[in-house]
């Protein structure tokens, strides 16, 4: 074979080989096109969405201080498989700087989870909004620094870096124990999205839970850029976040805090179990102070705080004692069954003592003997004497003149054995006797033991708030005002006439006389109109039906010549009654001085103006 023929053969062989490779390449290309068309592809999502978590509404004082507010929380997580071990120290240092979480704490969490072979770990659930914003910026810096590397998941290379998401909300009580237990507290719960939400358990938080949680999350959805930020255009979807509704109270923070400091001082002085006070605008029912000496921090409820979680102003039921007498006697006056000049026998037979006083009165009713605590210098006393000197015998004598229906319906009208309607949950009703019990012996003209004891506050139970509401009638022309803690609560305020105007005016003057001349003398302040009634009652529950514990109280009112009218209640539960301070259990020595300081505070803060 010639040389030319050999060269020609080699060219043909090369061309054939080239053609073979071209055909193979073409087949591979065509097969690739077919696979692309027929097999599903993982194309990066060109859209992104961002949720904006709505939070619970605030509870505000009347002077616009936030008593309770919510803060949004975020959680930070990483995938340990993607974290480059060579750059782990860099990550921990930067994350600590941006999150304010100690380096040691972060490193321990990472090391611990590596040993357990965990993939995704939560570094923190309690990232603040400010720190979350900073960590979002860190997220992209870490990507550029190569701190996180790609791993294969389902055949695809994916990088899971630092992830920041909303985890829920946290309730914050900025003034610690102020306005507790009235403001209440919340409990956390996790929703279907794994977010922490809040539910009110007690107090205002509970009563207005639905309104405070009436919220809607925000949403931002649209195309994203290379850094995964959402691009705003006409196709973007924006739903504005709506937080829960704010609840505004009628209580100013400054006044409330001043009152609480007074109670703290008197609780120590009187060694009392608890002191409760309230100040209410007589004409509107607005509660401008409802305070207890027993408070707690809702942010950090301890075991010792458990007895203090209830709002005892509405949840504690007790025998009221003599503060019920003005209610009973006003029913007698309203029924026109007594006059101011009438003389009532005090049942105080015997010789006068060296002070010219007859023995304490004793009234026999069946097998029971009812006594007066006060000595009188005469056998017959007036309506004024009964109230000013707090006569049990005078009060029950007048109460016997009422029919069973009159005393039963009268107590009901004043709100005894009924909820006051205040905007707080778990309110108790108290207890009075049944109509048939008041009727016992009525047909035979006999005195009734239930009328007798109930008329001076023994044998029935009330709440502190029921008495406050009842006393508002004496300072509001015979009309009771429903107490309300919040602005919303006052919108549905119901007022009811319980006694005639003439009766209210007469009782009002008798209560003023009690402060001027009787057991309420220590409450008197020149330049203000003040009236009220003391009460000292045994606490029931001992072996003989009662303990050696007392509830001392003073309910009354204070007015100035500028039109300010307030109904005020003070209850001291179990003041010291032994040793050199045995006399503190008398309301005149415990509840009345507290009342006096409340009025002084109202004057100092310009709620009242002296003449």
Residue 519 has pLDDT above 60, yes or no: yes
Helix H or strand E encompassing 288? strand 287-292
Per-residue pLDDT at 207 exceeds 70 = yes
Provide the pLDDT confidence category of residue 222 given band limits of 50, 70 and 90: low
Which pLDDT score, from 0 to 100, does residue 404 have?
95
**What are the phi and psi torsion angles at 81 (to 5°)?**
-65, -30
Tokens of 47: 């859209």
Within 13 Å, how many C-alpha atoms sit on residue 130's CB side? Answer: 2
Q: Which residues contact 112 (CB under 8 A, 6 or more apart)?
A: none
Q: Could you give the angle at the alpha carbon of 17 between the alpha carbons of 16 and 18, nearest 5°?
A: 90
Domains defined along the chain, listed by start: 47-248 (3.90.1310.10), 253-301+311-604 (3.40.710.10)
Banded model confidence at residue 355, pLDDT cuts 50, 70, 90: confident
Query: Beta 156-158 vs 151-153: how paired, if at all?
Result: antiparallel
Handedness of CA 431, 435, 437, 438 (dihedral sign): positive
Is pLDDT of 225 > 70? no
| Pick from 130-139, 151-160, 202-211: least confident | 151-160
Lowest mean pLDDT among 100-104, 227-231, 233-237, 529-533: 227-231
125 has pLDDT over 90 = no
Kind of pairing, strands 247-248 and 59-60? parallel
d(CA 55, CA 191): 13
Mean of pLDDT values over 370-394: 93
Q: What is the pLDDT of residue 43?
A: 45
Per-residue pLDDT band for 235 (boundaries 50, 70, 90) equals low
Smallest Cα–Cα separation from 399: which of 444, 358, 349, 457?
457
The string of pLDDT tens digits covering residues 4-51 is 666 677 777 777 777 777 777 777 777 766 665 555 544 445 555 567
Mean pLDDT of the chain: 89
Could you read off the pLDDT of 82-119 as tens digits, one per residue? Answer: 888 888 899 899 999 998 899 999 999 998 988 888 88
| 143 pLDDT above the threshold of 50 | yes
The CA–CA distances, whole Å, from 591 to 270, 449, 571 equal 10, 29, 6
| Highest mean pLDDT (candidates 40-44, 356-360, 366-370, 497-501) | 497-501
pLDDT above 70 covers what percent of the chain? Answer: 92
Radius of gyration of the chain (CA): 39
Report the helix count and the strand count for the chain, using DSSP H and E: 18, 23
Which of the given ranges, 14-28, 243-257, 433-447, has the highest pLDDT on average? 243-257
Helices (H), 425-463: 435-439, 449-455
pLDDT digits (tens, 9 = 90+) for 556-608: 999 999 999 999 999 999 998 887 777 888 999 999 999 999 999 999 999 99
Cβ count within 10 A of residue 424: 28
pLDDT digits (tens, 9 = 90+) for 291-305: 999 999 999 999 999
Report pLDDT digits (tens) over 478-498. Answer: 999 999 999 999 987 779 999
Examine the pLDDT at 379 and tell me if it is beyond 80: yes
pLDDT band at 153 (very low <50, low <70, confident <90, very high): confident
């Amino acid at each position: 074979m010639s040389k030319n023929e050999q060269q020609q053969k080699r060219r043909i062989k090369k061309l054939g080989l080239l053609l073979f490779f071209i055909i193979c390449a073409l087949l591979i290309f065509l097969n690739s096109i077919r696979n692309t068309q027929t097999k599903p592809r993982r194309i990066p999502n060109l859209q992104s969405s961002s949720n904006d978590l709505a939070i619970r509404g605030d509870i505000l004082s009347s002077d616009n201080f936030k008593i309770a507010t919510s803060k949004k929380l975020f959680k930070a997580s990483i995938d340990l498989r993607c974290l480059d071990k060579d750059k782990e120290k860099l990550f921990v240092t930067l994350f600590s700087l941006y999150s304010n979480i100690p380096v040691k704490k972060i490193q321990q969490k990472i090391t611990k989870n590596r040993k357990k072979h965990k993939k995704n770990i939560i570094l923190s659930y309690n990232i603040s909004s400010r720190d979350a914003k900073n960590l979002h910026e860190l997220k992209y810096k870490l990507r550029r620094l190569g701190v996180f590397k790609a791993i294969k998941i389902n055949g695809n290379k994916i990088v899971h870096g630092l992830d920041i998401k909303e985890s829920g909300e946290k309730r914050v009580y900025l003034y610690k124990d102020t306005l507790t237990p009235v403001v209440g507290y919340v409990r956390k719960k996790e929703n279907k999205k794994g977010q922490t939400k809040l539910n009110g358990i007690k107090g205002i938080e509970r009563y207005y839970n639905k309104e405070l949680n009436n919220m809607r999350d925000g949403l931002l959805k649209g195309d994203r850029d290379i850094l995964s930020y959402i691009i705003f255009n006409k196709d973007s979807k924006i739903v504005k976040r709506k937080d829960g509704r704010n609840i505004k109270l009628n209580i100013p923070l400054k006044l409330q805090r001043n009152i609480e400091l007074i109670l703290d001082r008197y609780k120590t002085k009187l060694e009392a179990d608890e002191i409760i006070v309230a100040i209410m605008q007589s004409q509107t029912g607005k509660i401008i102070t409802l305070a207890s000496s027993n408070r707690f921090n809702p942010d950090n409820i301890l075991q010792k705080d458990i007895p203090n979680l209830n709002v005892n102003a509405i949840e504690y039921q007790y025998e009221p004692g003599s503060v019920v007498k003005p209610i009973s006697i006003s029913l007698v006056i309203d029924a026109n069954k007594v006059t101011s000049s009438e003389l009532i026998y005090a049942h105080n037979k015997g010789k006068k003592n060296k002070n010219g006083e007859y023995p304490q009165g004793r009234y026999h009713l069946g097998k029971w003997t009812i006594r007066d605590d006060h000595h009188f210098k005469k056998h017959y006393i007036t309506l004024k004497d009964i109230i000013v000197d707090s006569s049990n015998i005078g009060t029950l004598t007048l109460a016997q003149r009422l029919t069973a229906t009159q005393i039963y319906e009268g107590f009901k009208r004043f709100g005894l054995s009924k909820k006051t309607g205040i905007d707080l949950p778990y309110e108790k009703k108290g207890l009075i006797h049944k109509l048939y019990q008041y009727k016992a012996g009525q047909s035979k003209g006999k005195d009734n033991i239930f009328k007798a004891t109930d008329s001076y506050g023994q044998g029935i139970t009330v709440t502190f708030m029921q008495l406050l509401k009842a006393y508002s009638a004496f300072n509001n022309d015979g009309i009771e005002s429903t107490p309300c803690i919040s602005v919303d609560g006052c919108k549905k305020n119901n007022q009811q006439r319980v006694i005639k105007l003439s009766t209210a005016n007469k009782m009002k003057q008798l209560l003023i006389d009690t402060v001027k001349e009787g057991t309420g003398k220590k409450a008197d302040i020149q330049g203000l109109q003040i009236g009220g009634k003391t009460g000292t009652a045994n606490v029931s529950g001992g072996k003989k039906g009662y303990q050696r514990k007392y509830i001392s109280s003073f309910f009354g009112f204070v007015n100035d010549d500028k039109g300010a009218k307030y109904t005020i209640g003070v209850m001291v539960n179990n003041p010291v009654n032994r040793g050199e301070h045995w006399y503190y259990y008398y309301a005149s020595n415990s509840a009345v001085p507290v009342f006096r300081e409340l009025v002084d505070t109202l004057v100092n803060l310009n709620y009242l103006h002296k003449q």
